[in-house]
Amino acid sequence: METTTASQAGKKRRFKSSHRRKDGYKLLLAALPFVLIAFAFSYVPLFGWIYAFFDYHPGIPLSKTPFSGLDRFREMFSDPRMGPVLMNTLALSFLSILTAPIPMLFAIMVSEVRSGWFKRLVQTVSTLPHYISWIIVYALAFSMFSTEGAVNAFLMKLGLGGAPVDVLGNYERVWTVQTLLLLWKSVGWSAIIYLAAIVSIDSEQYDAAKVDGAGRRRTIWHITLPSIMPTFIVLLLLSISNLLSAGFEQYLVFSNVMVADRIEVLDLYVYRLGLVTGDYSYSTAVGMFKSIISIVLLFTVNLLSKKFRGQGIV
């Protein structure tokens, strides 16, 4: 009798193991198209890095193109435009990192709202800008903040302003303006991750805090913030690793004659080198430099995370 029971238990274990294996294969097949897409668009283009080592010109086969070696990389370090471009990129990235706590604070505020319909309304309204293209954002900003925009017209009617203020053409304030626009567009979307982290907090901790007489402020300070801080640190470290990726579409559409020198970031510089001036070899070398530095930053912050937190992000 015992032998029969053990045999049946063994059959059940084998059946469950086989069932799990089949489910694993199904999930793998379901994920395969996305893996292929990621490989095609993220890794196959890396073969184009070879153009950085040749004096390439469109229409001439690579086999007949003179080999230039590291000349393009030497040119990059002697390029007078590289310094201002790097400064713009780092400044805008640092401003973005400084505003990183705002989505976390916004998520905490939303989570504390008791009214369900109002909470859903706030989440919808704050997330909606993420789905608006930067071209539409530029059109809205131009209609509101240009010299003939709605804001200047409203101030002029009230007699509160003198000459119209060109917010989008202000050379001294362009970094601040672009950071605020990026924050407006991304804060609701970024808060979703923190809202998910808040939802995963054990509700018994809040119940115990209420029993001990803790108010909402103390509950946020001693339970909510410590619980979502690991999520904030991981996202912050990933932002640091992408320090040279300040964006492209935003600064392309908002670039104008008055602020072009202050808004040209590395991605925009590579775009203009390659597609505007046609210097494909040099633009490829600059793109390689950006990618290599980003990889180095990623593994550096990963080592620092393992050292100070005991847990890496990669």
For residue 67, give the DSSP letter.
B
- Count the neighbouring beta carbons within 10 Å of the beta carbon of residue 246: 24
Domain chopping of the chain, boundaries: 1-42
In this prediction, residue 133 carries a pLDDT of: 92
| pLDDT value, residue 155 | 81
What was the pLDDT predicted at 277?
84
List pLDDT tens digits, range 60-107. 888 888 888 888 888 888 888 898 999 999 999 999 999 999 999 999
R_g of the chain, CA atoms, integer Å: 27
What residues are paired with 216 via a beta bridge?
none
pLDDT tens, position by position, 191-224: 999 999 998 888 888 888 888 888 888 888 888 8
| CA distance linking residue 252 with residue 299, whole number of Å | 30
pLDDT on residue 78: 87
The CA distance from 206 to 115, in Å, is 18
The pair of three-digit structure tokens given for residue 117, joined into one six-digit string = 């319909």
Residue with tokens 């979502």: 228
- Enter the tokens of residue 260: 């072009």
The token pair at 78 is 């002697």
pLDDT at 15: 52
pLDDT at 161: 65
pLDDT in tens, 143-153: 988 888 888 88
Ranges of residues in the chain whose predicted pLDDT is under 70: 1-19, 161, 312-314
